[in-house]
Amino acid sequence: MAPLFSLILGSLSRVRLVGGDHRCEGRVEVQQDDEWVTVCDDYWNMDSVAVLCRELGCGAARKTMSGTVYGPVTPKDQKVFIHLFRCNGIEESLSQCEKEDAIGCSHVEDAGAVCERPESVRLADGPGRCQGRVEVKFRGEWSSVCQAGWSFAAAKVVCRQLGCGRATLTRRGCNKETQGQGAIWQRKASCSGQEVSLQDCLSEVWEHNCTHNEDVWVECEDPFGLKLVGGRSHCEGRLEVLHKGEWGSVCDDGWGQEADRVVCRQLGCGQPLSPPVKVRRRFGPGVGRIWLDDVNCSGKEPSLEQCPHRSWGYHNCNHREDVAVVCEEQQSGLLDA
């Protein structure tokens, strides 16, 4: 049977940094018997931080910190871990460091750590920056990613992090022209799909025998853009959205004031004014593509792209039904507030 210490710290999910600006900074906590406990800072030094940063898949160790600087304040009934760590800095995880009993430590001695944020991500060898082979920059080296440790939820996060549109495809295997040549990322990302960046996903070290035949390929929609045209300012006009490099209009089936609110907010304008139909029609009909139909917003979405709608390009409309929006100018909206 493995030692209790190894069971406690045997995987990435058993150690974490809490209260920092990102997952690679904060108060050190380990999981013991289904509860998270803090670590005493006796003997806690840069060697210990280096090991912790390595275990968490973060970048280089930056500095040791007192855990008391990170909120929220440690609950009084939260325990302090029963062991101290003595690391030499080359271990892969804290479980490999020597340990000593911790006697008399209180939460004013909680350990903290700061590691560099490690990864940046890109899509390589595709037709544009929003399609390609997934590569993660880890400790200064770009590495491809194996499909066995990947998910569509992770693809969603990558597309969001790169400022692209929605993820449309993730698949295993690239052709010989687009396969990676260097290292393969030695981590497995566990994403919910709601994270802002890949760094925010839980990840763990994992051993694999992947080859570049299994490199992950991801395709995102082009960056979403919108504008109001034909008005006296950027805050009024016929609505057009950018998709696949082409501007097109939006059909008014299902459109409501909630959708107006999303558009006005996204453009940095004030509140929607909801003028009568004849005012909206003065902006004229569009030409070319009709990209969206049956758009149904709650009004809380940060972007029109996040409102449910028919698939891009599917509609039963003509340009007499193009959406037009009139918002307050931002300055006016601020004065009224």
Which of 76, 98, 115 lies at the terminal end of a domain, its last residue? 115
Would you say residue 336 lies in a domain?
no
Would you say residue 335 lies in a domain?
no
Which of 197, 220, 243 lies at the terminal end of a domain, its last residue? 220
Would you say residue 337 lies in a domain?
no
Instruction: Write the pLDDT tens digit of every residue in 246-272.
Output: 899 999 999 999 999 999 988 888 899
Is pTM beyond 0.75? Reply is no
Contacts (Cβ under 8 Å, ≥6 apart) of 301 = 262, 307
Would you say residue 7 lies in a domain?
no
Could you tell me if 76 and 151 lie in one domain?
A: no
Reading the chain (337 residues) residue by residue, the pLDDT tens digits are 222 232 233 333 488 898 887 788 899 998 877 788 888 888 889 989 999 988 887 877 888 888 888 876 667 777 777 678 888 888 888 888 888 877 778 888 889 999 877 657 899 998 888 899 999 887 778 889 888 878 999 999 998 888 788 898 998 777 777 887 888 887 778 899 988 788 788 877 767 788 888 889 999 987 778 899 999 888 999 999 988 778 999 999 999 999 999 999 888 888 999 888 878 888 989 998 999 999 999 998 878 888 899 888 889 999 999 999 999 986 433 333 3
Number of domains in the chain: 3
Torsion, Cα of 277, 283, 284, 285 (10° steps) = -80
Question: What pLDDT score was predicted for residue 209?
Answer: 80
Going from the C-alpha of 226 to that of each of 8, 114, 136, 241, 276, the distances in angstroms are 51, 40, 30, 4, 22
Q: What is the 3-state secondary structure (H, E, C) of 241-286?
A: EEECCEEEEEECCCCCHHHHHHHHHHCCCCCECCCCHHHHHCCCCC
Q: The domain spanning residue 203 has which CATH number?
A: 3.10.250.10
Please tell me what DSSP assigns to residue 80.
Answer: B
Instruction: Write the pLDDT tens digit of every residue in 196-213.
Output: 788 788 877 767 788 888
- How far is the C-alpha of 50 from the C-alpha of 92, rounded, in Å? 9
- How far is the C-alpha of 25 from the C-alpha of 33, rounded, in Å? 24
Instruction: Write the pLDDT tens digit of every residue in 86-110.
Output: 888 888 888 888 888 777 788 888 8
The DSSP H or E segment spanning 55 is helix 46-55
**Cβ neighbours of 195 (radius 10 Å):** 19
Q: Which domain holds residue 323?
A: 226-328
Which of 62, 94, 115 lies at the terminal end of a domain, its last residue? 115
8 Å CB contact between 246 and 289: yes
Question: What pLDDT score was predicted for residue 82?
Answer: 66
Could you tell me if 143 and 106 lie in one domain?
A: no
- How far is the C-alpha of 29 from the C-alpha of 40, rounded, in Å? 10
Q: Among all chains, which residue has been given the structure tokens 């939006």?
A: 250
- How far is the C-alpha of 267 from the C-alpha of 239, rounded, in Å? 11
